[in-house]
Amino acid sequence: MEQSPTIRVLVSGIIRVAYTLIAIVILGIVLDRLLALPTWMGGPWHLLGLIPFILGLALEAAGTHAFWKYGRGTPNPVGHPERLVTQGPYSWSRHPLYLARHLILLGAAWLLGSPSILVLTILLFLVVQRVMIPREEGRLAARFAKQYEEYRSRVSKWVTLRRRNRG
């Protein structure tokens, strides 16, 4: 049996995600400046970006907490969960952490009026959708077999608006 994750593994994973998101935002700002792109949101409307930003932060925290509490693991690949996590935000999304990170970036793009951050977020979504999720779901299917297939049949990849029939 694997050892339970340490706080250090959890914190290092959180820091890694934060650095990645910050790097994407900084890259977007730099691209906006280099390409002399105008901001696409001005005035008080840019504050609406707080909605996806805060929702993303809350979802990131809830997903990380679910990994820790129910799976005895972390989102950090070094301390992956021992059990399949299907509680918390995982009861309505198979990938709430990816969803959270896209919401954070969308909120940052909106808050800063940055077309480049928006484009980078869309590109990241495509990479996650086409490369990362299939690889991750393959590993989960190999580790948790029938339990994962049942979970996958009932919870959608991004957002489950209503429960699917189990039959």
List, for residues 70-106, the tens digit of each pLDDT value: 998 888 888 888 899 999 999 999 999 999 999 999 9
User: How many angstroms separate the Cα of 139 from the Cα of each of 134, 155, 161?
Assistant: 9, 17, 26
Report yes or no on 165 lying in a domain. Answer: no
Report yes or no on 115 lying in a domain. Answer: yes
> How sure is the predictor about 1, in pLDDT bands with cuts at 50, 70 and 90?
very low
Q: Distance (Å, rounded) from C-alpha 60 to C-alpha 38?
A: 30
> How sure is the predictor about 164, in pLDDT bands with cuts at 50, 70 and 90?
low
Q: Distance (Å, rounded) from C-alpha 129 to C-alpha 31?
A: 24
Q: Distance (Å, rounded) from C-alpha 157 to C-alpha 152?
A: 8
Helix (H, G, I), strand (E, B) or coil at 51: helix
Angle, helix 7-34 to helix 115-127, in steps of 10 degrees: 130
Q: Distance (Å, rounded) from C-alpha 59 to C-alpha 64?
A: 8
**In 3-state terms, the chain is what percent helix, strand and coil (to 5)?**
70, 0, 30
Report yes or no on 99 lying in a domain. Answer: yes
* Residue range of the domain that includes 74: 7-154
Report yes or no on 23 lying in a domain. Answer: yes
Report yes or no on 2 lying in a domain. Answer: no
What domain count does the chain have?
A: 1
The answer to whether residue 145 scores a pLDDT higher than 60 is: yes
> How sure is the predictor about 21, in pLDDT bands with cuts at 50, 70 and 90?
very high
Which residues lie closer than 8 Å to 88 by C-beta, 6 or more apart? 62, 63, 65, 66, 69, 70, 96
The answer to whether residue 162 scores a pLDDT higher than 90 is: no
Report yes or no on 159 lying in a domain. Answer: no
